């Protein structure tokens, strides 16, 4: 199933894409928290359908527009990306790969939906805004100390996140959260594909940037089989001593080809558009606009 959250007749609703992908069947449940209402039902039968809207023209929101707490995010988790950063940014790193994943968080208020604009904060705050295309998993059944072997049973589904980052702020602080948590810095969508429909261990992740007035450039093109720490390992790591809750989100890290890794680096500017596509999920596209413009 593809589970979408949308604005419909002034209300937030959650629904399921029809098999032909042209419409959304609306569930007769409170859609305020998007797909979270559905996730929390666990194994209960799906809610009744009380309407249908065409996908064309539907105003999609992030599938989890108000995550209940910070999003877990993984840093430097593709072999090729670790290599590109060692050559450009983290030159003092002896090895591409560390023993444990880097995990940081983004605050839930960063989340915006497909088609919403990312706000560039102005040069006084940051002049180095970058994209990060990421396969992202959503926890279904919660748990603590989840073993690697059981981890996939806890995945409810997958979506796409653009882990937008202010690089200068990220690098200024030992912890990355500040540079990752600016308002609007977490486009998410276009929907959640339930875990039964995607083999996330090997799918293609691509990201294009269209500079304002320019033509589209493919910047990231990777397969999730290049992940340093795979999804079961990430769930095992994040649940170590910490109870994961239904609806928790883990962004699995980005691939090579970020703006920071280019020579010279290329930052996002007003009017640029970033489009991310993950095979088996869909497309997430957002424009970047200067605050106040
Ligand atoms: Mg990231």
Give me the pLDDT at residue 57, please. 86
Measured from the Cβ of residue 178, the count of other Cβ atoms closer than 10 Å reads: 14
Q: What is the distance in A from the centroid of ligand 1 to the CA of 41?
A: 30
**Rounded distance from Cα 181 to ligand 1 centre (Å):** 11
Distance 149 CA to ligand 1 centre (A): 25
Q: What is the pTM of this model?
A: 0.96
For the sheet containing 273-278, what is the strand order? 118-120, 282-290, 273-278, 204-210, 217-223
Q: For 88, what's the count of Cα atoms within 13 Å in the CB-facing half-sphere? A: 19
Q: How far does the centroid of ligand 1 lie from the alpha carbon of residue 270, in Å?
A: 21
C-beta separation of 180 from 72 below 8 A: no
CB atoms closer than 10 angstroms to residue 41? 15
What is the pLDDT at residue 83? Answer: 84
Nearest to 118 by CA among 155, 163, 84, 88: 163
Annotation: CATH topology of 71-290: Fumarylacetoacetate hydrolase; domain 2 (3.90.850)
CA of 54 to the centre of ligand 1 (A): 33
Task: Tell me the domain boundaries of the chain.
Answer: 2-61, 71-290
C-alpha 104 to ligand 1 mean position (Å): 9
- CA dist 91 and 84 (Å) reads 10
Dist. CA 73 → ligand 1 center (Å): 6
Write the DSSP symbol of residue 116: P
Q: What is the pLDDT along the chain (293 residues), one digit of tens a residue?
A: 999 999 999 999 999 999 999 999 999 999 999 999 999 999 899 999 999 999 998 999 999 999 999 999 999 999 988 888 877 776 665 556 678 999 999 999 999 999 899 999 999 999 999 999 999 999 999 999 999 999 999 999 999 999 999 999 999 999 999 999 999 999 999 999 999 999 999 999 999 999 999 999 999 999 999 999 999 999 999 999 999 999 999 999 999 999 999 999 999 999 999 999 999 999 999 999 999 87
Measured in angstroms, how far is the CA atom of residue 188 from the centroid of ligand 1? 13
pLDDT at residue 93, as a whole number? 59
Dihedral angle sign, alpha carbons of residues 149, 69, 58, 215: negative
Distance 98 CA to ligand 1 centre (A): 16
What is the C-alpha separation between 210 and 208, in angstroms, rounded?
7
End-to-end CA distance of the chain: 39
Pairing of strands 133-139, 155-162: antiparallel
pLDDT number for residue 96: 60
pLDDT at 279: 98
Give residue 105 CA to ligand 1 midpoint distance, Å: 10
Size (the chain), residues? 293
Ligand 1 centroid to residue 75 C-alpha, Å: 5
Kindly give the distance from the C-alpha atom of residue 137 to the centroid of ligand 1, in angstroms, as a whole number: 13
How far does the centroid of ligand 1 lie from the alpha carbon of residue 234, in Å? 14
**Among 108, 105, 111, 107, residue whose Cα is nearest residue 74:** 105
């Amino acid at each position: 199933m593809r589970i979408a959250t949308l604005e419909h007749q002034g209300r937030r609703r959650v629904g399921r894409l029809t098999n032909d992908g042209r419409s959304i069947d609306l569930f007769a449940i409170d859609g305020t928290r998007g797909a979270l209402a559905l996730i929390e039902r666990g194994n209960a039968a799906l809610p009744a359908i009380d309407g249908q809207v065409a996908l064309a023209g539907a105003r999609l929101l992030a599938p989890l527009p108000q995550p209940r707490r910070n999003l877990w995010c993984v840093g430097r988790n593709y072999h090729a990306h670790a290599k590109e950063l060692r050559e450009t940014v983290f030159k003092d790193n002896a090895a591409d790969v560390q023993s444990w994943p880097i995990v940081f968080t983004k605050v839930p208020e960063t989340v915006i939906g497909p088609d919403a604009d990312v706000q560039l904060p102005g040069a006084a705050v940051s002049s180095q805004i970058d994209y990060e295309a990421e396969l992202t998993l959503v926890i279904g059944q919660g748990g603590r100390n989840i073993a690697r072997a059981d981890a996939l049973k806890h995945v409810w589904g997958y979506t796409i996140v653009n882990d937008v980052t202010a690089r200068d702020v990220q690098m200024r602080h030992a912890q990355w959260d500040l540079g990752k948590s600016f308002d609007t810095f977490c486009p998410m969508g276009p929907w959640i594909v339930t875990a039964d429909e995607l083999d996330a261990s090997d799918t293609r992740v691509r990201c294009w940037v269209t500079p304002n007035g320019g033509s589209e450039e493919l910047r990231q093109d990777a397969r999730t089989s290049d992940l340093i720490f795979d999804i079961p390992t990430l769930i095992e790591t994040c649940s170590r001593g910490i109870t994961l809750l239904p609806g928790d989100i883990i962004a699995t890290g980005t691939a090579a080809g970020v703006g920071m890794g280019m020579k010279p680096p290329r930052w996002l500017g007003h009017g640029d558009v970033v489009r991310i596509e993950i095979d088996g999920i869909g497309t997430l596209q957002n424009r970047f606009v200067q605050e106040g413009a």
